[in-house]
Structure 1
Amino acid sequence: MKCFIAVYEQGSVSAAAQRLHMTQPPLSILLRKLEDELGVGLFDRSGHRLVPTATGELFYLRAKALQASLQAMRRELLEAEQGSRGTVHIGCATAASLFIMPGVMEHIAASGLKITVHVHEGETGYMLQRLRERSLDLIICRSQYTAPELENQVIMDEPLRLALPPGHRLHDRAQVHIGELRDERFLLHSSLLGSGISDMLLRACQDAGFTPDVVYWGVETLPMLLMVQKGLGVAFAPDSFSQLGMQGLPRLVPLDDPALRTHLNIIWPRHHPLPPAAERLKAIILERFAAQG
């Protein structure tokens, strides 16, 4: 096909042979074989020049389109092999969708990468199961895991803040000690697997000499903050949530215990390689955010 295109565009076998860096006889043989294989005549050889037949004109149009398609396919395959093209399925906690993925997508756009990111949200245990089943490539969540089949790295570490209802007695304090909350109703994060925010807070309450009155266990932070704003209890949120600037959210007050911190973790399988696009996305996340861990 490449030889036919060269002969068609050069108008002669000799000129095409020079363009293709080959001798004329083999090129003439290739043209004859192509016509025999197709069962049609592509050139009129009655004169001194090769003149394309009507069938040859049609074949040229199709051949050029196919050549362009093959070139595009080669380019796409190379991009996929290098991780600059593909689809990545990533499980994200809401905080990851709010504070990690916008920066990641900005990097993808600025770098000209052709990576499509498919974000899945849900309960962390369910996402871990999907990661093990390979229907997810990566997970970004709050909980940490020590499992032989998983790699786990912190990508964002920040102080934990106390969310207080409007008009609360501690609302205007610069800092609050966990022991001052012994009579409050707590709204806490569920952590069925691994170690999460609630485990740390329960230990801090016990160290302060009380067991908190937990009236709500939830998965996501934003709904709990809205409940706090309605006066239904106190909750805890990472410092990054104070940057949202959304109306209807409660004030986040610093805690005086520097050990009360939380972090986002990226998790991926240890024993089998990621698809190239997922490996590229993981590298972007680690490069942009691991220094904050």
Structure 2
Amino acid sequence: MTLQELRYIVALADEGHFARAAEACHVGQPTLSTQLKKLEDYLGVTVFERNRHHLVPTPIGEKIIERARAALDVVSQIRELARQGHDPLDGPLRLGVIPTLGPYLIPHLLPAIRQHFPDLRLYLREDLTAKLLERMSQYRLDALLLALPVHGAEVETRELFHEAFLVALPKGHRLAARRQIGAAELAGENLLLLEEGHCLRDQALAICGPASVQERDELKATSLETLRQMVAAGAGCTLLPALAALPGVGSVGDDLVQLRAFDAPDAYRTIGLVWRRRYPRADTVRWLGELIAANLPAAVEPVGPRSAPRRTPRPAPVLTSA
């Protein structure tokens, strides 16, 4: 049993298809098929059920693949420990970020990352919180940038900032005459929310109270930009995080969506970094956290002291999408 064979079965599990897995591993499909058969013969079990169209792990195969991921992560940790001996801020970092945050924060931070961490290759993955946590537990992401709290014995967290919610109203709405709007005043309004799975939806329901929220199933959205468009069209009102509510953000004219302060207890979310306990490059994540905390937009409230790491600027890093 070799590390390469373990890489093959993990690729097959991720892709669910021989041709795509072979392409991801940069080998021919016959080679991949032969190596899988060799591993199954060695182990004496069937790792995948397969036919012309489907490739599904068997129950024992799922357990083998899970441990293969862990074994490959240990190998990766050995390489990263060696790299860390030279420079903890050199090399790749796979960062997951929630979609209600990434488009509004990451572009703001990129100049500082380029300046202070020029040798850091940042790979970004945008997804819902549950999926990001799952990918990190499978060693496919190194750290996450999302709304806290996140519970679990196998993770560490670092709070970065508090982000207030604002009420977004259509132009001419009856509540637009007020400077602040309370949760009780939204009772009876058609409150537009993101679809299930978004943490921002759960936070909005927790603040406003599920019983007071008027929601139409056909008007759920998958992004804040869709919500903004729906508000502009007069379909209802919504809550926007402060970074998504900055002037000029989004494709809707500021005159079509009117923003008001939200006067409600806990009308904010706490954003922070999350990483695996015992992650070998934890210092890299902590440095990134310090850099983010030192370069936050004025629209959010930092948590803890702001201290910019001092590094000699060098050429810009490579930024790609995962």
Per the shorter chain, which TM-score range? 0.5 to 0.7
Per-residue CA shift, 1:224-251, capped at 9, x if unaligned? Answer: 1111111122110112222241451522
CA contact (8 A) 1:187 1:235 kept: yes
Instruction: Give the counterpart letter for 1:136 in structure 2.
Output: L
CA distance in 1, matches of 2:207, 2:95: 32
**Is 1:274 the counterpart of 2:278 in the alignment?**
no
CA distance in 1, matches of 2:285, 2:148: 21
**Is 1:96 the counterpart of 2:101 in the alignment?**
yes
Instruction: Give the counterpart letter for 1:188 in structure 2.
Output: L
**Is 1:248 the counterpart of 2:262 in the alignment?**
no
Quick one: structure 1 residues 137 and 146, their matched pair in 2 at CA, closer, same or farther if it must change by over 3 Å? same
CA distance in 2, matches of 1:232, 1:248: 14
**Is 1:292 the counterpart of 2:292 in the alignment?**
no
Aligned match of 1:106: 111
SS at 2:165 equivalent? strand
Quick one: structure 1 residues 225 and 189, their matched pair in 2 at CA, closer, same or farther if it must change by over 3 Å? same
CA contact (8 A) 1:188 1:217 kept: yes
Farther-moved stretch of structure 1 (274-283 vs 241-250): 274-283
Quick one: structure 1 residues 188 and 81, their matched pair in 2 at CA, closer, same or farther if it must change by over 3 Å? farther
Aligned match of 1:71: none
Instruction: Give the counterpart letter for 2:113 in structure 1.
Output: I
Aligned 1:62-81 pairs, distance under 5 A:
81=86
Runs of 5+ in structure 2 lacking a partner? 1-81, 304-322
Aligned match of 1:132: 137
> CA offset at residue 288 of structure 1?
4.2
> CA offset at residue 99 of structure 1?
4.0
Quick one: structure 1 residues 223 and 264, their matched pair in 2 at CA, closer, same or farther if it must change by over 3 Å? farther
CA distance in 2, matches of 1:112, 1:182: 47
Aligned 1:114-263 pairs, distance under 5 A:
114-190=119-195, 192=197, 196-206=199-209, 210-215=211-216, 216-246=219-249, 247-248=251-252, 250-263=257-270
Quick one: structure 1 residues 101 and 236, their matched pair in 2 at CA, closer, same or farther if it must change by over 3 Å? same
CA contact (8 A) 1:82 1:276 kept: no
> CA offset at residue 268 of structure 1?
0.8
RMSD: 3.0
Instruction: Give the counterpart letter for 2:214 in structure 1.
Output: D
SS at 1:188 equivalent? coil
> CA offset at residue 153 of structure 1?
2.5
Instruction: Give the counterpart letter for 1:183 in structure 2.
Output: G
CA contact (8 A) 1:93 1:141 kept: yes
Per-residue CA shift, 1:165-220, capped at 9, x if unaligned? Answer: 12211123211121122221122245648xx443343344349xx43122244453
| Aligned pair partner of 1:265 in 272, 290, 293 | 272
Farther-moved stretch of structure 1 (155-164 vs 138-147): 138-147
Runs of 5+ in structure 1 lacking a partner? 1-76
Quick one: structure 1 residues 191 and 80, their matched pair in 2 at CA, closer, same or farther if it must change by over 3 Å? farther
> CA offset at residue 108 of structure 1?
2.8
Per-residue CA shift, 1:115-149, capped at 9, x if unaligned? Answer: 12111111221111111111111111225211111
> CA offset at residue 269 of structure 1?
0.8
> CA offset at residue 91 of structure 1?
0.8
Quick one: structure 1 residues 271 and 214, their matched pair in 2 at CA, closer, same or farther if it must change by over 3 Å? farther
SS at 1:186 equivalent? coil
> CA offset at residue 161 of structure 1?
0.6
CA distance in 2, matches of 1:225, 1:234: 9
Larger radius of gyration: 1
SS at 2:95 equivalent? strand
Quick one: structure 1 residues 228 and 135, their matched pair in 2 at CA, closer, same or farther if it must change by over 3 Å? same
CA distance in 2, matches of 1:93, 1:136: 13
Q: Would you say how many aligned residue pairs link Structure 1 and Structure 2? A: 213
Quick one: structure 1 residues 123 and 166, their matched pair in 2 at CA, closer, same or farther if it must change by over 3 Å? same
TM-score when normalising by structure 2? 0.57
> CA offset at residue 286 of structure 1?
4.7
> CA offset at residue 280 of structure 1?
4.3
> CA offset at residue 258 of structure 1?
4.6
> CA offset at residue 255 of structure 1?
1.5
SS at 2:145 equivalent? strand
SS at 2:181 equivalent? coil
Farther-moved stretch of structure 1 (275-284 vs 155-164): 275-284
Quick one: structure 1 residues 171 and 88, their matched pair in 2 at CA, closer, same or farther if it must change by over 3 Å? same
What fraction of aligned residue pairs are identical, expressed as a percent? 21
